[in-house]
Amino acid sequence: MTTEIPRTPPAAVDGAAAGNGADEAASRAALEAEFDAIETEEWRQSLHDVFYRRGPERVAELLGDLQIEAQREMAQLPVTSRTPYVNTIPIERQPPFPGNRQIEQRIKSFVRWNAMAMVVDANNRHEGIGGHISTYASAATLYEVGFNHFFRGADDPSGGDLIYIQGHASPGIYARAYLEGRLSEELLFNFRRELAEGGGLPSYPHPWLMQHFWKFPTVSMGLAPLMAIYQARFMRYLVDRGLKEPTDAKVWCFIGDGETDEPEALGAISLAARERLDNLIFVINCNLQRLDGPVRGNGQIIQELEAVFRGAGWNVIKVLWGAEWDDLLANDHDGLLTKRMGQIVDGEYQKYTVAGGTYIREHFYGVDPRLLRMVEHMSDDELWSMRLGGHDPEKVHAAYHAAIRQEGAPTVILARTIKGYGLGEAGEGKNITHQQKQLNEDELMHFRDRFGIPLSDEEVGSAPLYKPDDDSAEARYLQQRRRSLGGFLPLRRTISCAGISPAESVYDEFYEGSGGREVSTTLAFVRLLSRLLRDDVIGDHVVPIVPDEARTFGMETLFRQAGIYSHVGQLYEPVDADSLIYYKETTDGQILEEGITEAGSLASFIAAGTAPSVHGACTLPFFIFYSMFGFQRVGDLVWAAADSRTRGFLVGATAGRTTLQGEGLQHQDGHSHVLASVVPNLISYDPAYAYEVSLIVREGIRRMHEQQDAVFYYLTVTNEAYPQPPMPEGVEDGVLRGIYPLRAALRGIPASGEDVDGPRVQLFGSGAILNEVVAAQELLAERYGVAADVWSVTSYSELRRDAQDAERWNMLHPGEPPRRPYLSEVTANAEGPFVAATDYMKSLPDGVAKWLPGPLVSLGTDGFGRSETREALRDFFEVDAKHIALAALYALAQEGAVDADLPERAIAELGIDPEKVNPRLA
């Protein structure tokens, strides 16, 4: 049903328009409003008409056409999740290119050649050594435009931009550094041979072994974009807190289109938009391929990413087509070409790269005679060689130029490229290209010709590096560009944080014990953190990080004391404003309250813990998390933290499989110490008492700040409250090295005062389970006349490392007096068998067994946790006092030190069910 719409404005309005002044303006506005209403209705009617005659598909098609038309008119459309498949920046808005195109092209060609040659050469000399050619080949223009015009070095007043480089593009970055004179030919020859004489280059960016070059480890897909987002936010944090000069420095993050499938890659993009991080620029190299094949063969990764980023609030710049397309698009008056561009799925686009101009004419343009006419003046080869946007420096420059000027939102540049660009038959656009590392002579010649490398036919075969003379136009240009941009990149310089340590008095109260008051190690730790925050020297440098778990750990008192960081402060009155510990958000807040993201928190931890090398600022992070949701959740980020030489404390709270009661198997952590033990520069502890926590933190700050060791710390703290004893004399060294004697054997029955020199056993306890061990000591003495020495083991992994180091040294120095592992040394005179009880897996104590002077029985919490009370859990996992006592009697019986039937008697007496379920299997 339709109504008739008048084609002219109503006469009454006409008459009113004849008035004067305000009346006239009002009537004109009324007239316009009326016209608008009529126009809107007209459009609406048309839409309905189409809908009823042709259905919803036709409506969508029409609107798509109108959208193209609107974009052409530069109209801002309200629906912005996807825009037509053309460059976001039209040719009219493209700024002039400031550089010398010819020289830059030659430099880029040399870098391309060398990046390829170093991989080919490495594989010719060592088959299977690997490497990647095609990633950089597709990204060369994206990097070169950045290096020549945008990326600022450390000497720039901004302090320098931070560049996260796509890991597999590293050959191109090395090749450029070689042209810049920063890396020697020998180093490039030893690509992927870090152990070669004279040194070699690591496959991918990593600060661990190239600590003066690479700032960020990037190759584990998805971590770089996540780390870059939190890095950009942390840069703001430093400035807001007065720890860094205000800066317009940018964080650039280069990633692959395939990489965006990693949840971490896109998982934090809403944070970047919410925090309005206009200091952040993502460049996604959309070559439409990943390792095995197309990223979205049946779809369009660029359109998909545009929708995701736009939806999250990012500024999206698509760089799809090079200059060769400008004229065609200018003549695309009815939008046919633009529409066709948007119809092609990525698998088909990839095919065009490989199949050539005839195929493109037939399949792309051939669907419509009008499209065919648009390109009838062009040869097939011309059609084939029309560049994509990501290979056109002027288009890339325009995108970067817009990105660095963007205000109020982060920018993502979606640049279309060809994977293996320039490799021709050897792999350009082919599915095998990611793995291509060897080129034959013909392929090398093709590459040389395509990029005009001045090498003779004879020279080409061995894929030599090419470097122009220092006084060549190219070399001078390259040096001049970097000089004017503040020096070379990448570059990593680290400042010393020596002297930034707290007053000794910070630690004192923890050495004194709690005077019988029941206090958990979590509470003790939070108290220590609070004292560190108040310290005159280190206070401002401490960065507490929590993933929405502060109340769980009793940290809410810190909200008010230190404030929660927010770039905009607090725009609302907190609901608990009248309480002493209200939820205080403030611009100079110190706490990073990250919300429920352990991955994001760890990214902040890395940013804060690497600030001495990234920002020239000393910050020391304490990341306090639910221990179960640490290592097993975000272990790869912990590895990246280690590689990055991050300093700081990881604090796994509410730890221990049986100490965290009630929560059950998803929450109860009995293995994070096993996972922590695999990280080479991570020092981990499972402390039992507040003074142990205090000594560990003190030593950690000493080593990380005063000694500048590239280590970081992991300690678990628990929520079981018990009296904290005062620190015994002389235990400092033992606490830090992993073990010390806590309570000498109770000889005989304390209750009767009688001195019985019974059989002897050694008991090891850690964390909250140490209390069970102490109880077992009493039980053994009172009931069975067994004398047990109790040891506190703070770190099995440190004991094991020390012992392994000694063993290794002894093996390599057989003629010299052997070194003794610390564990062997301190237990040398201990009598009897050993029993170790831990809230973690048995493999931890088992890992040190061979360095003990007697046999070891390990009790631990292998298996799934349970929702239960501590008492029931410790019975279930067989780590309570009675099971420890039984293990001791069993070990003594094995040695013949007690009656053989004593263990059986004890089982009955202690109420242990020998047929109980095996917790490891249950």
Contacting residues toward ligand TPP, per CB under 6 A = 135, 138, 168, 219-221, 256-259, 285, 287, 289-291, 295, 419, 434
Angle in degrees, CA 652, 605, 548, rounded to 5: 60
**Residue 300 binds: one of Mg ion, ligand TPP, none (C-beta under 5 to 8 A by kind):** none
From the list 258, 389, 563, 738, which residue makes contact with Mg ion (rule: CB under 5 A)? 258
Query: Closer CB to ligand TPP, residue 168 or residue 391?
Result: 168
Query: Closer CB to ligand TPP, residue 390 or residue 865?
Result: 390
| 346 is an interface residue for Mg ion by CB under 5 A | no
What stretch of H or E contains 592? strand 592-593
Query: Closer CB to ligand TPP, residue 153 or residue 217?
Result: 217
**Residue 460 binds: one of Mg ion, ligand TPP, none (C-beta under 5 to 8 A by kind):** none
Task: State how far Cα 270 lies from the chain centre.
Answer: 16
The residue number with the shortest CB distance to ligand TPP is 256
Residues near 907 by beta carbon (within 8 Å), at least 6 away in sequence: 886, 914
Torsion of CA 732, 733, 739, 740, to 10 degrees: -60
Q: Which residue has the tokens 């996972």?
A: 675
End-to-end CA distance of the chain: 70
Query: Closer CB to ligand TPP, residue 130 or residue 199?
Result: 130
Q: Which residue has the tokens 């817009």?
A: 402
Return the structure tokens found at 147: 């290096």
Q: How far is the CB of 335 from Mg ion (least distance, A)?
A: 29
Report the C-alpha gap between 57 and 54 in whole angstroms.
8
Return the structure tokens found at 493: 């310089």
* 280 beta partners: 251
Helices 101-125 and 393-405 cross at an angle (nearest 10°) of: 100
Query: Closer CB to Mg ion, residue 168 or residue 250?
Result: 168
Query: Closer CB to Mg ion, residue 256 or residue 903?
Result: 256
How long is the chain? 922
Query: Closer CB to ligand TPP, residue 258 or residue 860?
Result: 258
Query: Closer CB to Mg ion, residue 257 or residue 798?
Result: 257
| 772 is an interface residue for Mg ion by CB under 5 A | no
Query: Closer CB to ligand TPP, residue 224 or residue 529?
Result: 224
Do residues 698 and 538 make contact, with C-beta atoms less than 8 angstroms apart?
no
φ/ψ region of 174 (left if φ > 0, alpha if ψ in -120 to 50, else beta) reads alpha
Q: How far is the CB of 299 from Mg ion (least distance, A)?
A: 14
**Residue 613 binds: one of Mg ion, ligand TPP, none (C-beta under 5 to 8 A by kind):** none
Q: Measured between alpha carbons, how far is residue 87 from residues 282, 392, 419, 555 in Å?
A: 17, 12, 20, 50
**Residue 291 binds: one of Mg ion, ligand TPP, none (C-beta under 5 to 8 A by kind):** ligand TPP
Q: How far is the CB of 413 from ligand TPP (least distance, A)?
A: 14
From the list 256, 547, 758, 759, which residue makes contact with Mg ion (rule: CB under 5 A)? 256
Q: How far is the CB of 311 from Mg ion (least distance, A)?
A: 22
CA dihedral sign of residues 549, 551, 556, 559: positive
Query: Closer CB to ligand TPP, residue 287 or residue 613?
Result: 287
Q: How far is the CB of 312 from Mg ion (least distance, A)?
A: 21
Q: How far is the CB of 252 from ligand TPP (least distance, A)?
A: 16
Report the C-alpha gap between 889 and 776 in whole angstroms.
11
Q: Measured between alpha carbons, how far is residue 628 from residues 124, 734, 796 in Å?
A: 47, 27, 19
**Residue 168 binds: one of Mg ion, ligand TPP, none (C-beta under 5 to 8 A by kind):** ligand TPP
Query: Closer CB to ligand TPP, residue 172 or residue 600?
Result: 172
Interacting residues with Mg ion between 125 and 184 (CB under 5 A): none
Q: How many residues interact with Mg ion (rule CB under 5 A)? A: 5
Q: How far is the CB of 416 from ligand TPP (least distance, A)?
A: 12
Q: How far is the CB of 300 from ligand TPP (least distance, A)?
A: 14
Query: Closer CB to ligand TPP, residue 342 or residue 427?
Result: 427
**Residue 119 binds: one of ligand TPP, Mg ion, none (C-beta under 5 to 8 A by kind):** none
Report the C-alpha gap between 903 and 418 in whole angstroms.
73
**Residue 218 binds: one of Mg ion, ligand TPP, none (C-beta under 5 to 8 A by kind):** none
Query: Closer CB to Mg ion, residue 97 or residue 421?
Result: 421
Q: How far is the CB of 419 from Mg ion (least distance, A)?
A: 6
From the list 121, 144, 240, 257, which residue makes contact with Mg ion (rule: CB under 5 A)? 257
Q: Which stretch binds Mg ion (CB under 5 A): 283-291, 366-374, 487-495, 652-660?
A: 283-291
| 420 is an interface residue for Mg ion by CB under 5 A | no
**Alpha helices for 55-97 (secondary structure H):** 56-72
Q: How far is the CB of 865 from Mg ion (least distance, A)?
A: 42
Query: Closer CB to ligand TPP, residue 257 or residue 346?
Result: 257
Report the C-alpha gap between 555 and 611 in whole angstroms.
25
| 287 is an interface residue for Mg ion by CB under 5 A | yes
Q: How far is the CB of 135 from ligand TPP (least distance, A)?
A: 4
**Residue 259 binds: one of ligand TPP, Mg ion, none (C-beta under 5 to 8 A by kind):** ligand TPP
Q: How far is the CB of 320 from ligand TPP (least distance, A)?
A: 16
Q: How far is the CB of 672 from ligand TPP (least distance, A)?
A: 22
Query: Closer CB to ligand TPP, residue 262 or residue 692?
Result: 262
SS3 sequence of 250-290: CEEEEEECHHHHCHHHHCCHHHHHHCCCCCEEEEEEECCEC
Encode burial over 804-840: b for 16+ CB neighbours within 10 A, e otherwise: eebeeeeeeeeeeeebebbbbebbeebebbbbbbbbb
Strands (E), 81-214: 162-164
CB-count burial class (<10 Å; 0-12, 13-18, 19+) for 5: exposed
Residues near 54 by beta carbon (within 8 Å), at least 6 away in sequence: none
Report the C-alpha gap between 595 and 447 in whole angstroms.
50
Encode burial over 167-206: b for 16+ CB neighbours within 10 A, e otherwise: bbbbbbbbbbbbbbebbeeebbbbbbbeeeeeebbbbbbb
**Residue 220 binds: one of Mg ion, ligand TPP, none (C-beta under 5 to 8 A by kind):** ligand TPP
Sheet bearing 712-716, strands edge to edge:
592-593, 542-546, 620-626, 649-653, 712-716, 682-685
Q: How many Cα atoms occupy the beta-carbon half-sphere of 776 within 13 Å?
A: 32
**Residue 135 binds: one of ligand TPP, Mg ion, none (C-beta under 5 to 8 A by kind):** ligand TPP
**Residue 637 binds: one of Mg ion, ligand TPP, none (C-beta under 5 to 8 A by kind):** none
**Residue 221 binds: one of Mg ion, ligand TPP, none (C-beta under 5 to 8 A by kind):** ligand TPP
Closest CA to 145 of 252, 258, 286: 252
**Residue 610 binds: one of Mg ion, ligand TPP, none (C-beta under 5 to 8 A by kind):** none
Q: How far is the CB of 319 from Mg ion (least distance, A)?
A: 15
Q: How far is the CB of 427 from ligand TPP (least distance, A)?
A: 12
Query: Closer CB to ligand TPP, residue 289 or residue 716?
Result: 289
**Residue 430 binds: one of ligand TPP, Mg ion, none (C-beta under 5 to 8 A by kind):** none
Angle in degrees, CA 859, 864, 865, rounded to 5: 85
Query: Closer CB to Mg ion, residue 289 or residue 716?
Result: 289
Do residues 454 and 464 make contact, with C-beta atoms less than 8 angstroms apart?
no
Q: How many Cα atoms occupy the beta-carbon half-sphere of 395 within 13 Å?
A: 28
**Residues contributing to the site for Mg ion (CB under 5 A):** 256-258, 287, 289
